[in-house]
Amino acid sequence: MSTADRRAREKARRRREILAAARQEFFERGFHHPTVDDVAARAEVSKGTIYLYFESKEEILAHLLLEGLDLLLEEMEAACEPESAQSPEQALRYLANAYLRFCQENPSYFRLIMAFDRGRFEESISRKLHSKVLNQSLRGLDLLARTVERGAELGEFHAADPWQAAGSVWASLNGVLVLMAHPLRQRLLRSDLETMFQATLDLVVRGLQDGSHR
């Protein structure tokens, strides 16, 4: 067993090393520029070895994406940790800000997450991995939905369908992050990501709190 164990451990370590090398390459030089050779060189293994641990180049990127999602989820979960202690609005704001911080601190992961949406990814990675990514990417929405739901139960939010409302919130925040990713739009709107993000958050929170119907 001990031998098998060590083998497995070493295998896992090697895999992590390759992933780390890929992360550096892709984050430093863009998602398209680095070649498998570049990654192999950085990981100090041969090109063939890469294919021993990953099916394809795209799968490596998918795994990095998964990493990013894990990190994001972790931070979002931490943000609404002592759940009961926070008001739903507070929790919503914490969640949103956790997302904002994550994007600011990990712009490359954010770009990767956004790139996943419209990419040839889906065509070129295994079905299993693809659904893994999708699942993970929905957990954030889930956290949001639960918070909205709690707010609705407490009468603080007016949302007939918490999932839908969570979708709206998520879409709005995401939209700002994408919108402000472009420096030119920051200039045009004479604003920065931080300000814009908070303004949008305020806007949707007010929308959730206001029960009036047109």
Give me the residues that bind its own copies (CB under 8 A), please.
30, 32, 89, 111, 114-115, 117-118, 120, 134, 138, 141, 161, 163-165, 167-176, 178-182, 184-185, 188-191, 195-196, 199-200, 202-210, 212, 214
Whose tokens are 């920065």? That residue is: 192
214 binds, among its own copies, DNA, none (CB under 5 to 8 A by kind): its own copies
Q: Quote the least distance from Cβ 181 to DNA, whole Å.
A: 25
Q: What residues make contact with DNA under the rule CB under 7 A? A: 3, 7, 10-11, 14, 33, 35-37, 45-53, 56-58, 124
Q: Is residue 111 a contact partner of residue 177, using CB atoms and an 8 Å limit?
A: no
148 binds, among DNA, its own copies, none (CB under 5 to 8 A by kind): none
Q: Is residue 131 a contact partner of residue 67, using CB atoms and an 8 Å limit?
A: no
Q: Is residue 36 a contact partner of residue 55, using CB atoms and an 8 Å limit?
A: no
Burial tier of 76 (Cβ tally within 10 Å: 0-12, 13-18, 19+): buried
37 binds, among its own copies, DNA, none (CB under 5 to 8 A by kind): DNA
Region for residue 44 given its phi and psi (left: phi exceeds 0; alpha: psi -120 to 50; beta: otherwise): left
Q: Quote the least distance from Cβ 121 to DNA, whole Å.
A: 12
Residue among 81 and 202 whose Cβ is closer to its own copies = 202
Q: Quote the least distance from Cβ 202 to DNA, whole Å.
A: 44
**Alpha carbon 127 to chain centroid distance?**
20
DSSP-based three-state secondary structure for 79: helix
